Amino acid sequence: MASSGVRLEWSDAIGKRVRTGDVQAQTVPTLVAARGALEEAGDEFGLLAGRREVAAQLVDSFMEEAKVVYVIYKVWTAGFLDWLGEQGVTVAERDAEMERLRHLLAWRDGRPLDPEASWAELGAQAGRLASGIRSYDLRVADAVPLLETLAGGWRGLHDRYADLMAGVLAYVARRFGEARLEDCYRAVLEPYIRERYMPFDTRVTPYPETLERNIYLVLEAMRAHMGGPRRDGEVDVEEHDDRWVVSFDPCGSGGRSMRGDDIEGTPSRVLAPYEFGVTQERHDWAWNETGICYYCAHCCLALEKLPMERWGHPVRVVDPPRWGGSPDAPETQRRCTWTVYKTLESIPESAYQRVGHQKPQLPVIQAPPRPDTATAASD
């Protein structure tokens, strides 16, 4: 199990407790790491007892990762509903569509989607599991299946909540036209941009000082999106001289929705009964490509276009899959990749041009290095 030595520590740079380890170590799904630590500790109290505490903390960390995505979807839901109201959609119309989507995205046992109730249940489950691991009340053989149950519970909630976002976007496109998705997204994403992406503003923080935070948050987020062929949060990373390329096969949100859900046996969300929609026209806010699922377009705005508008450069460069006409088409099956460039100079002109921008002439005006950083560099 590829988890030996994994632990958690406080990060001043990121402002919370984070997993330790290099970039490759961060690609291990968090509950896989928790299982590894638990199996290292075993059932006998002794020298390796501390690994049980690490396993329990990794369960907590998994919920922290999931919480980030859960809260984002919660904020977006409120934002979508507010925007629809501002466009004249009545409360009755809005509620009827949300009720339809909750039933369309029901659990296997027929329960309509209720994110708040499911999240509360998941939190209680995680708390009992972490407590039982710490206290030795759970043997390894009993705890391992519970780790898998926790992962499956979050995966099911995550997928349905992501699909709910896609369903609302499809409603916007049907009612107001595809082009209005940009207006909707700009209104809804603003709190998300302020909280998650303004720390990358190069007018405030020099670009090199953003890289640690950037690559960590990429890997943390995509672990939480439960991507990969086993849908356990697996992420692949290739490091080059000028960039890191992070890929997901599939991404657990947009990529999974276009391919369909093999675990639950449900079809592509582009097709009936979902029909959540992909771009039919070319837009700057969707990489000027057709076949981009409406959900995936938020990555173009949040990671590329809006940062370019505000401080000139993308946070990350995304190359998403495209709907190729069927779930099995090569374009649909393509990996999603996120690229974090190590310098502004290495970001290619094409990354700007495809979303309707030109790369600013370098050097650009940036914040000066912080005094403590300059001092450390000279030591």
| pLDDT digits 0-9 by tens, 78-137 | 999 999 999 999 999 999 999 999 999 999 999 999 999 999 999 999 999 999 999 999
Model pLDDT, residue 6: 83
Phi then psi for residue 13, to 5 deg, are -65, -35
Q: Please return the burial class of 10, using the count of CB atoms within 10 Å of its CB with bins 0-12, 13-18 and 19+.
A: exposed
Model pLDDT, residue 105: 98
For the segment 21-73, what is each residue's pLDDT rounded down to a tens digit? 999 999 999 999 999 999 999 999 998 999 999 999 999 999 999 999 999 99
Distance CA 283, CA 300 (A): 10
Model pLDDT, residue 63: 98
**H helix runs in the chain, sequence order:** 30-41, 49-86, 91-104, 115-135, 140-176, 180-192, 207-224, 254-259, 297-300, 306-311, 330-333, 349-353, 371-378
Which pairing describes strands 8-11 and 16-19: parallel, antiparallel, or unpaired?
antiparallel
**3-state SS of 74-93?**
HHHHHHHHHHHHHCCCCHHH
Mean pLDDT by 10 residues, the chain (379 residues): 72 90 94 96 93 96 97 97 98 98 98 98 98 97 98 98 98 98 97 92 94 95 95 96 97 96 96 97 98 98 97 97 97 97 97 97 64 44
Distance CA 64, CA 234 (A): 17
Model pLDDT, residue 69: 97
Edge to edge, the sheet with strand 336-341 lists 236-239, 243-248, 336-341, 317-319
Distance CA 245, CA 314 (A): 15
Model pLDDT, residue 65: 97
**Looking at residue 278, what DSSP letter applies?**
B
Model pLDDT, residue 368: 58
Distance CA 310, CA 341 (A): 18
Model pLDDT, residue 13: 83
Distance CA 101, CA 219 (A): 30
SS3 category, 319: strand
Q: Please return the burial class of 220, using the count of CB atoms within 10 Å of its CB with bins 0-12, 13-18 and 19+.
A: buried
What's the pTM?
0.93
Model pLDDT, residue 378: 37
Model pLDDT, residue 379: 39
